[in-house]
Structure 1
Amino acid sequence: MSTPESCVVAGRLAELGHTNLYDLLKQASHVYGDKTAFSCGADSVSFTELRDKSDSFARYLRHELGLQPGDRLAIQLPNLLQYVVTIFGALKAGLVIVNTNPQYTVPETRHQFTDSGARAVVVLDKLVPLVRAVQGETAIERLIVTSVDDWSNPQVASDEADVTRFMAALTKGKALPEVDPQRGLEDLAVLQYTGGTTGVSKGAMLTHNNLLCNVLQAVSILSPGELEYGNEVRVSPLPLYHIFAFTANCLASVFTGFNSVLITNPRDLDNMIADLQRHRITLLTGINSLFVSLMAHPQFDSIDFSQVKWVNSGGAPLNLAVAKRWYERTGSVIREGFGMTETSPVVIAATATTPYKEGYIGQAIIDTQLKIVDDAGNELPTGEPGELLVRGPQVMKGYWQRPEATAETFTADGWLKTGDIGVIDEDGFLKLVDRKKDMILVSGFNVYPNDIEDAVMRHPGIRECVAVGIPDERKGEAIKLYVSLHDQNLTEADIVAHCREQLTGYKVPSFVEIRDDLPKSTVGKLLRRVLRDEARAEVAEVSA
């Protein structure tokens, strides 16, 4: 076991007097005032402006829409200034945030809205048809619609009775009475959905305490004098609807007074490079696939990295060769971390003061306990591989409306089972060596094979299928799909096209292999591990 149990974070929270997440912005507006909180393209918002606009939005949500503390508000937006106003407005109103991927398909959106019971959604204008396609099967009563350019070119008119334009909501809310969050530390703040081994996406219940603690845990790794609160510029290309960016680039950045430069579309590398050239970058949060793409861009070497103090990699494993190339090109070291949706998410982090160990991620952050156990739950000696278990104040309350899944994920004495196979050395450094679960990690997103297989099997021409993850330098892992067919005329391209209709882009298989039959056990169970091992061996042979 690493890191003795303590209450450092609880003591720090008591000193700050924070009782809910909105207190982060409330304090930051007093401390940092007119300093820039978030930038997006040519637009920006100060901490004071962010507080005022969030307050107006909270008033609109409570008084105009009639949403009450504890009601769920779905948010389906990319990285925009409207997103951060929505987040803190919802928190001020005492609502529960349901972060929803804007790339979701109809089935994925339907499930998340239905399962969460969200009563309203803040959504990008071009996604309104998606919401309309599922609305009748959900509790969604009202749509608050925004455009990418709303900040500089506000749209206020709508001819649909259940639709309000985002900027109009801010104007209306400004004239309404003040509201109180009416939420405490143990109340639910966010339903953050994650994949399930059964293919059913589950809402991790993250409380105000979980997320506040993780913010304080995350900033605790900063060395004294290394970074200056209120005077750093952090480029944030990872989507804020993803738990890593939500906590690190949104909540923690507000706490530290950093200017977060939001990248709305990180796939548009030309515009992202322009943002990197325009700003005095001191911090960058990315992911393995993003680092690869940036270094391949012809303008990459024109970026000034001389003032960069910290580069974070989270959400997916960092490829060692990529990290070395990055250092050679920029002179900045990428520091890796590890976490899960269920842990708010940060569990492990490398810091400037801890020694570098090749192949190891880092050590547990404060107030976080780790242990490695065998299949029977017995703790293993130092250096032996087994399942990683985690305990700490950032660990979720459980899965939304799924007591059985919650019970399966926790031990009787409150340890969270991660499903990852790891090794902890004598200094408390963690190395991940495999997964107990079949989860595939694609560019930082959890993808569960059954989720893909369920979608694939909706095609009547497919008899059986198995999805596995294979190593990929850019994405971390790529998805390979093995299928056998009823309809022998189906092609690999046909299958991929079907997947694109059913699944978010990052869940679509990169490779499809059609076989006459798929391997099975003596009782007829498809042998995913056999195919996964075979696929990985083929990749290793090609790479050798």
Structure 2
Amino acid sequence: MLPLIQRADSFRDRTAISDGATDFTYAELLSRSEAIARALLGDEEDLREARVAFLVSPGFDYVAVQWGIWRAGGIAVPLCVKHPLPSLQYVIEDTTARSVVYGPEFRERLEPLFGPIDTDFVAIDDLAGGAQELPEVTRDRRAMILYTSGTTGRPKGVVTTHANLEASIRTLVEAWEWSEDDRILNILPLHHVHGIVNVLCCALWSGACCEFMPQFDAGEVFERFGTGRINVFMAVPTIYFKLITHYRQLPVEDQRELSRKLRAFRLMVSGSAALPVSVLETWREISGHTLLERYGMTEMGMAISNPYNGARRPGFIGQPLRGVTVRLVDENEQEVPEGEPGEIQVKGENVFLEYWNRPAATAEAFSPDGWFRTGDIAAWEDGAYRILGRNSVDIIKSGGYKISALEIEEVLRQHPAIGECAVVGIPDEEWGEIIGASLIVEGRQLDLQELNDWLRERLPGYKVPRRYLFQDELPRNVMGKVTKQELKQLFA
């Protein structure tokens, strides 16, 4: 049995999952996930790494389905609950998922796919357990495929093994001193490594409780904090910005009481995007906590972290985690001296296995001597890494999401009124970056509200541009390539 699931047996009577009102024990999670595994197996002995996608709201059912897929020997492919149909269809078809498990609230969204694609769609309520024995699943098997945008435009499936996941979990549990007495509020998307591994898996490995709040609401977050039950919290900088904004609107007495509750927390973490110093300092004034910044990617989980015990400096992401080796190199793959900028490259058991069905992209992601190329630039200064920025202007980090500008451009070019376009990230204190699109419009007027409605039918909401610039021509270099740094300055 996989260690994550095996460990749950020693916490059987403890609360594993909560929605704030209803609690579910580890025993209930083990029982439900076993029933789901048997149902997924049917007459088979082992799913043998068949891909099983699932569209289930955050909570007990999500975890039970994820564990059920793993216990049956399948590869879990979590789908984003906010994605429009084309994005969901892309992942389902790209992974050649044998089945899609869905919650009843998503049936209407998925129904257009029930006939056209060769995949079984199964309502979670219809998953009844059978009598089949569960297979022995080894650590070297593929466990999960998460989709991440890259410079090639279309999202790529990042394949992690159970060993990769276990390495990440063990390292973080040790580094951040998780215990069974912890209770964390999970408001992060569960198709990203941040919400799945850093929060959910670390909590369940430790015998702690993961409390869910499916939809973010700053007021409700503070209400949950006010109960005194929560003692660990992890979020992206945008969330902290929104919490600060809400806090400032509260009466002074409510602010004081809330700050008192926040000071009792054990740990607060920020990640998935650069944390503005102003947000760090304001949150420290409100909560008494200096947010722990860390650095990771879908392809490797977490690699670098500020210390749990020790100084945390704004703008610095800390030191390599145990079991992770990091180097900084120049464009010739040569290590750079201390203080000099270089690309972060990583080795360790936490690093992913491959991009799904993309051998060329997988090979390109690694140096000739086996280091994973992150594309991020940092410098080693005074005993810690300081992030300097992306190696590519075609990746936008907004609200914790890593977004491909090329993917958005490809969709924009499909609009009949748009002749050419270019998409860039524009610095923003709340979101880290917001998406800006420069458009060359042909032939007729373009209504921006209609354009946004059109885009939301084809892209997730967080990939829709927030600002537009209309031009007669795009800035280009002598080779004809759009000079995006110049375009960023035009937006500024």
Shorter-chain TM range is: over 0.9
Q: Is the 8 A contact 1:110 1:137 kept in 2?
A: no
Does structure 2 retain, via aligned residues, the 8 Å contact 1:73–1:96? Answer: yes
1:307 pairs with 242, 248, 264, which one?
264
Contact 2:80–2:190 (8 Å) recurs in 1: no
Residue number among 309, 324, 333 corresponding to 2:290 in the alignment? 333
Give the deviation of 1:418 after TM superposition.
0.5
Counterpart residue type for residue 513 of structure 1:
L
Question: How far apart in 2 are the matches of 1:182 and 1:442?
Answer: 40
Map of 1:155 onto structure 2 = none
Aligned to 2:402: 446
Match of 1:288 among 220, 237, 244: 237
1:177 matched residue in structure 2 = 131
SS at match of 1:388: strand
2:207 is the counterpart of 1:257? yes
Alpha-carbon distance, 1:533 to partner: 4.0
Task: Select which of 430, 434, 437 maps to 2:389.
Answer: 434
Which residue pairs with 1:4 in the alignment? Answer: none
Q: Would you say the 8 A contact 1:26–1:51 is kept in 2?
A: no
Q: Is the 8 A contact 1:481 1:513 kept in 2?
A: yes
* Contact 1:69/1:181 (<8 A) preserved: no
Do structure 1's residue 493 and structure 2's residue 449 form an aligned pair?
yes
Task: Describe the SS at the equivalent of 1:389.
Answer: strand
Give the unaligned 5+ runs of structure 2: none
SS in 2 for 1:253: helix
What secondary structure, in the 3-state scheme, does the structure 1 residue paired with 2:387 have?
strand
Instruction: After TM superposition, give the deviation of residue 105 of structure 1 in Å.
Output: 1.6
Is the 2:114–2:121 contact (alpha carbons within 8 Å) kept by the matching residues of 1?
A: no
Cα distance in 2 for partners of 1:479, 1:295 equals: 23
User: Where do 4+ consecutive residues of structure 1 move more than 4 Å?
Assistant: 64-67
Measured against aligned partners, the alpha-carbon deviations of 1:172-230 in whole angstroms (never above 9, x if no partner) come to 31xx225324321211000111112121111111000000000011112135xxx5x21
CA contact (8 A) 1:91 1:181 kept: no
Contact 1:78-1:241 within 8 A present in 2 as well? no
Equivalent residue number for residue 163 of structure 1: none
Amino acid across the alignment from 1:25: I
1:406 partner amino acid: T
| Equivalent of 1:214 in 152, 164, 168 | 168
Correspondence list, 1:104-115, <5 A:
104-115=83-94
How many Å separate the matches in 2 of 1:78 and 1:472? 30
1:113 deviates by 0.5
Identity fraction in percent: 28
Q: How does 1:35-54 map to 2 (within 5 A)?
A: 35-54=14-33
Partner Cα separation in structure 1 for residue 308 and residue 162 of structure 2: 29
Distance in 2 between residues matched to 1:181 and 1:212, nearest whole Å: 19
**Contact 1:310–1:333 at 8 Å: present in 2 too?**
no
Q: Which residue of 1 aligns with 2:416?
A: 460
**Native 8 Å contact 1:194 1:341 kept in 2:** yes
1:355-394 to 2 correspondences below 5 Å: 355-394=311-350
Tell me the amino acid that sits aligned with residue 26 of structure 1: Q
Contact 2:46 2:134 in 1 (8 A): no
Instruction: Give, in angstroms, the shift of residue 137 of structure 1.
Output: 4.6
Aligned-partner Cα distance in 1 for 2:219–2:141: 42
Deviation at 1:96?
0.2
For residues 150 and 117 of structure 2, the distance between their equivalents in structure 1, rounded to whole angstroms, comes to: 21
1:103-123 deviations in whole A, cap 9, x for unaligned?
A: 112221111100101111122
Query: SS at the partner of 1:114?
Result: helix
Number of the residue aligned with 1:319? 276
Q: Is the 8 A contact 1:99 1:193 kept in 2?
A: no
Could you say which residue in structure 2 is the equivalent of 1:122? 101
The AA in structure 2 aligned to 1:44 is D
2:391 maps to a residue whose letter is: K
1:270 equivalent in alignment to 2:219: yes
Greater shift, 517-526 or 271-280, is seen at 271-280
The one of 27, 33, 46 aligned to 2:7? 27
8 Å contact kept, 1:316–1:441: yes
* Alpha-carbon distance between aligned partners in 2 of 1:137 and 1:178, rounded to the nearest angstrom: 31
Amino acid at match of 2:428: D
Q: What amino acid maps onto 1:355 in structure 2?
A: A
Work out whether residues 281 and 307 of structure 1, in 8 Å CA contact, stay in contact via their aligned partners in 2: no
Contact 2:436–2:467 (Cα < 8 Å) also in 1: yes
Could you tell me how far apart the structure 1 residues matched to 2:490 and 2:372 are?
Answer: 31
Contact 2:37–2:134 (CA<8 Å) still a contact in 1?
A: no
Between 94-103 and 526-535, report the one with greater CA deviation. 526-535
Residue aligning to 1:342: 299
- CA 1:241–1:56 in structure 2 vs 1: closer, same or farther (change >3 Å)? same
The answer to whether the 8 Å contact 2:182/2:203 transfers is: no
> How many Å separate the matches in 1 of 2:385 and 2:4?
31
Helix, strand or coil for the counterpart of 1:103? coil
Letter in 1 for 2:230: I
Q: Secondary structure at the match of 2:211?
A: strand
1:83 lines up with 2:40 in the alignment: no
Tell me how far 1:135 sits from its aligned partner: 4.2
Q: Which amino acid aligns with 1:238?
A: L
In structure 2, do the counterparts of structure 1 residues 274 and 356 end up closer, same or farther at CA, with 3 Å as the change threshold? closer
Cα deviation per residue 1:450-485 (whole Å; 9 max; x = unaligned)?
111111111011011111111111111111111111
SS in 2 for 1:107: helix
- Structure 1 residue runs of 5 or longer lacking an equivalent are 1-18, 145-165, 539-544
What is the distance in 2 between the residues matched to 1:483 and 1:195?
22
Deviation at 1:55, TM superposition (A): 0.9
Give distance in 1, aligned partners of 2:331 and 2:323.
26
Q: Post-superposition shift, 1:136?
A: 4.1
What is the TM-score of this pair, normalised by structure 1?
Answer: 0.85
Change (3 A) 1:390 1:132: same
Give the aligned partner of residue 541 of structure 1: none
CA distance in 2, matches of 1:366, 1:103: 35
State the SS of the aligned residue for 1:220. helix
What amino acid is aligned across from residue 387 of structure 1 in structure 2?
E
Residue 132 (structure 1) aligned with residue 129 (structure 2): no
Question: In the TM superposition, what whole-angstrom CA distance separates every residue of 1:471-502 from its partner, at most 9, and x where no partner exists?
Answer: 11111111111111113311333332322222
Cα shift readout 1:37-94 (whole Å, capped 9, x = no counterpart): 1111311211111111111111111127997231111122231211011111111111
2: CA distance, partners of 1:524 / 1:509: 24
Deviations 1:248-287 (A, max 9, x none): 1111111111111111101x33333332223522111111
Separation (CA, whole Å) in 2 of partners of 1:514 and 1:136? 41
Match of 2:156 in 1: 202
Aligned residues: 483
Taking the aligned partners of 2:33 and 2:20, their CA distance within structure 1 comes to 20
